[in-house]
Amino acid sequence: MRINAADLRLSQLRAYLAVAEYLHFSQAASALGVSQPTLSGAIAALEETLGTRLVERTTRRVMLTTAGERLVARARAVLDAVDALVDEAAAAGRPFSGTLRLGIIPTVAPYLLPVLLRGLRESYVDLEIEVHEEQTGSLLEGLNAGRLDVGLLALPTELRGLAEIPLYDEDFVLVTHDRHPMAGRETVAGVEFGDGPVLLLEEGHCLRDQALDICRETSARVGTATRAASLTTLVQLVAAGLGITLLPRTAVAVETTQTGLSVSRFVDPAPSRRIGLVFRESSGRSSEFSLVGKRLAEVIGESALPVRVPAIA
C-alpha cells in the first residue's frame, strides 16, 4: 500500500514521540498539554495512515512495537527539520526572541539560576525563559526529542548530535558534622575521608556518579542504606551524624548555613566537575544558542560564584 505523506500530521508525530519518550499515556498527554483521548486518537490515526502498529498498550504497561522502535529516529528527524524551518524563519526576523526552553539539573538550578536568569533578562529582553528542572537522563531525552531547546548539566554528555559549550568548573568540598574527626579542618586530602560513610544522592543524579568515581579513587566507604533526593536533604543527614558527603562549591553558601556542620576544601588537585550548555547541533537556532552560551559564561565570570570559567573559542 502506498502511503500518502500528505495524510501525516505533525501533531500525530509529536504524540507518537511523546509516548515513545515517556512510555506512559498520561504523562505524554500532560507533556503535550492535551487530553488522553486526544493523544490516543492521534496515535491511532498515525498507525492507520502508516498501516502498522506502533504502540502496544496493556492495563499495566506501554511499549513500542518493533516497527515503533524503528520509526522513532525517522519521526524525530522530521519534526527536527520542521522545527528548524520555523525557528530559522523566526530567528531571521527576530533573533533572541520568543521562548527558550531551558533544562537544568537539580544540583545546579538553585545555585546558578538567580545569576543566569538575571544575566539573560538583561542581555535578551525579548527572550522568554521557560525553566525545566530535571535529572540528567530526562533532560537529555528532552533535548533529543525537541521538548527542550538547551540544557545546563555536567559535561561531557558523550552523546552524538549535541553541541557542548563549557560554562564553568567547580571544586567539590567535604561536608561533615561538627563532631567528626575532620571537623574544623580548612583543607583535607582526598585519601583522608575514607572513614565515611559517604552519603550520596539517589540514582539518576549525575552528581551521584561523580561522587562515586571520587569514592572509588580514594577507597572511601559509600553509605548504601541512606540516599537523598536533594542536596538539602543530604546535608540534613550529615548534620544528623549519619555520614559525610561531597558538595559542589556553588551549593555551600545555600546548603550549609545551619549549625552542626563543618566544610573543608580539598588540597590540589581537588575533585571537580564541569558544567556546560548543551543543545542539538541540528537546531535551527544553534548559532543563537552558541552566543547565549558564551554570554552565560561571561555572566558567570563576572559574578562572585566560586567557580573557574574556561576560555571559550
SS3 219: coil
**Rounded-to-integer distance, Cα 313 and Cα 302, Å:** 18
How does pLDDT run across 73-123, given as a tens digit for each residue?
Answer: 899 888 888 887 777 676 665 668 788 999 999 999 999 999 999 999 999
**What CATH architecture does domain 5-89 belong to?**
Orthogonal Bundle (1.10)
Residue 87 CA, chain-centre distance (Å), reads 22
Q: Where are the beta strands (DSSP E) in the chain?
A: 55-57, 62-64, 98-104, 127-133, 150-155, 162-177, 187-188, 198-201, 222-228, 245-248, 261-266, 272-280
Which sequence spans correspond to the domains of the chain? 5-89, 96-168+273-302, 170-271
The model carries a pTM of 0.70
**What CATH architecture does domain 96-168+273-302 belong to?**
3-Layer(aba) Sandwich (3.40)
CATH numeric code, 170-271? 3.40.190.10
SS3 278: strand
Q: Pick the residue with more confidence: 191 or 283?
A: 283
Q: Which residues pair with 279 in a beta bridge?
A: 150, 163
Cβ burial of 244 (10 Å; 0-12, 13-18, 19+) is buried
Query: Using alpha carbons only, how large is the chain's radius of gyration in Å?
Result: 23
Q: What is the pLDDT of residue 242?
A: 87
